[in-house]
Amino acid sequence: MIAALHIASFALIVIAVVVVLIRLARGPSMLDRAISMDVISSAMIAAVAIYSAMTGRLDLIPALVALSLVGFLGTTAIARFAVIDNPEEARIIEERLAELGDDDDPVHDVDNPKETP
- For residue 27, pLDDT over 80 is answered with no
From the list 13, 12, 73, the residue with the least C-alpha distance to 45 is 13
Q: What is the pLDDT of residues 57-84, one digit of tens each?
A: 999 999 999 999 999 998 888 877 776 5
What pLDDT score does 107 carry?
A: 56
Domain ranges of the chain: 2-83
The SS3 call for residue 47 is helix
Using CA atoms, how far apart are residues 53 and 47, in angstroms rounded to an integer?
Answer: 10
What pLDDT score does 75 carry?
A: 85
